[in-house]
Amino acid sequence: MKLFRQIRSNLFIFGLPLLLAVFSCNNDDSSVADQENTNLTNDDNAALLFMLEEEKLARDTYTYLGDLWNINQFSNIKKSEQSHMNAVIGLLDQYDISYSLLAYGEFNNPDIQKLYDQFIEYGSENKANALEVGANIEDLDIVDLAKFIDATTNSAMIQVFESLQCGSRNHLRSFVNAIELSGNTYEPQYLTQEDYILIINDSQEQCGP
């Protein structure tokens, strides 16, 4: 799975500017229509667009692997990923940020597209690989959300992203539990070992809306 980590390292270098160009009608004009819109920077806009695609990555991957292997985690968690997408869409709509959603398995960001293709190929080999892919996606999601939370001062965005991160921690625990019940172990790919252990040893959380 280190190949996925290498692909992901390019996401922040190339992915955010590309997504902003593809999705957003950029208003460089400083005419302030209303004060709430000024609370989002261009980086915040790009972060929302990026996370919409990353949550879609989770939903689409879990839908495909769930249909393939009939594993409960995928069928249950894909519904949560749709709600995660809806939460991000709510912010995009609130701040009048243009976005587009492609068909299942198709992404505007080419690096996320590569991740999806790699995850599907790897997860299609066997159930153990499929569960590993699920843990990998949640592992990645937690780290990316943390970076965006630290980088913004927008309270609405922080609230939504913290809620998504809470859900991803629960999802990670669920996938890791299934991996361990099958006699395998998961090694974190993006989280530090210390943060991973803290999450896994904690109990399921009650996440906000």
- Tokens representing residue 192 in the block: 């530090």
- Tokens representing residue 37 in the block: 């819109």
Q: How far is 99 from 72, CA to CA, in rounded Å? A: 31
pLDDT per position as a tens digit, 150-178? 999 999 999 999 999 999 999 999 999 99
Q: pTM for this one?
A: 0.85
pLDDT per position as a tens digit, 19-42? 544 444 444 443 333 444 447 999
Radius of gyration of the chain (CA): 17
- Tokens representing residue 122 in the block: 């790897």
Q: Is residue 4 predicted with pLDDT exceeding 80? A: no
Instruction: Supply the pLDDT for residue 39.
Output: 74
Q: Is residue 49 predicted with pLDDT exceeding 80? A: yes
